[in-house]
Amino acid sequence: MNLPNKLTVARFIAVPIFIGVFMQGYHYMSAIIFIAASFTDYLDGKIARKYNLVTNFGKIMDPLADKILVISALVCLVDSGQVAAWMLIVILAREFTVTGLRTVAAAQGIVIAAGMTGKIKTVLQMIAVPLLIIQNWPFSIVGIPMADIMLWASVIMTIVSGTEYVYKNRQVFSM
């Protein structure tokens, strides 16, 4: 297994550790774990592309690891009352829709690559989550907590990217 794939596996391993630490109330430590796990997403992609280490495992498991990390964190934040459940439902609906679309396309021999709006959505989520975990310390813009701004931006980008995936790949539905 190459280094980028090991980093992806490390992100999977980080999820239960993050959840346990968060649920014990160690929010700063859980934010650090989340940030470190998120950084592995950036790092594995950069290394894989730079050294031509892109694999089928990485193509499938890297975005899955991202989704599990972010969604696990958002479930914890919904449970703690910091994120509205409807926001998580919007994010889950997009993820299931895109995953379903990719599965149908793959069955037809079509590969749907990650789009830029999906990548932006993931980055916004990965910024919003630690800000929410640490309850926004010390960030706000014009009295609006930065965590709220980033959360709303990620939900909006979730809708935009989901719509884009469906529209750009609508031919998959007619096959």
The CATH topology of domain 3-174 is Four Helix Bundle (Hemerythrin (Met), subunit A) (1.20.120)
- Alpha-carbon separation of residue 126 from 12, 42, 52, 73, 142 (angstroms): 15, 11, 26, 10, 22
Tens of pLDDT, residues 93-128: 999 999 889 888 888 888 777 789 999 999 999 999
Q: What was the pLDDT predicted at 135?
A: 85
Confidence class for position 9, pLDDT limits 50, 70, 90: very high
* Percent above pLDDT 90 for the chain: 72
Cβ atoms < 10 Å from Cβ of 55: 15
- Alpha-carbon separation of residue 116 from 83, 85, 167 (angstroms): 25, 26, 14
The residues spanned by each domain of the chain are 3-174
| Peptide bond preceding 138 in cis form (omega within 30 of 0) | yes
Output 140 or 174, whichever has higher pLDDT: 174
| 141 phi and psi angles, rounded to 5 deg | -125, 120
pTM of the model: 0.91
